[in-house]
Copies of this chain bind each other. A is one copy, B any other.
Amino acid sequence: MTTLERIRDTASTLFAARGYAGTSMSRLAGQVGIRKASLYNYYPSKEALLQDLVARGMSAWTEASESLQEGGDPRERLRVYFHSIFAFADAHPEIVALIRVASTQIGGSLGKRCRGSAVEEQGRMVDEVAELCRRAMEQGQMEAADPREPALLWTAVVDGVLMNKLFATPRAAEFGDRLEPLWRRLWVAMGGVT
Contacts and interface: CB of A to CB of B under 8 A. Distances in A.
B18 A107 contact: yes
How many copies of this chain does the complex contain? 2
Interface in A47-70: none
Determine chain A's interface SS by DSSP, over half rule.
helix
A43 interface: no
A186 B101 CA distance: 28
A179 to B, nearest CB: 11
A160 interface: yes
A25 interface: no
A103 interface: yes
A189 interface: yes
Most buried by B among A156, A167, A170: A156
Interface string A164-186: 10110111001100100110011
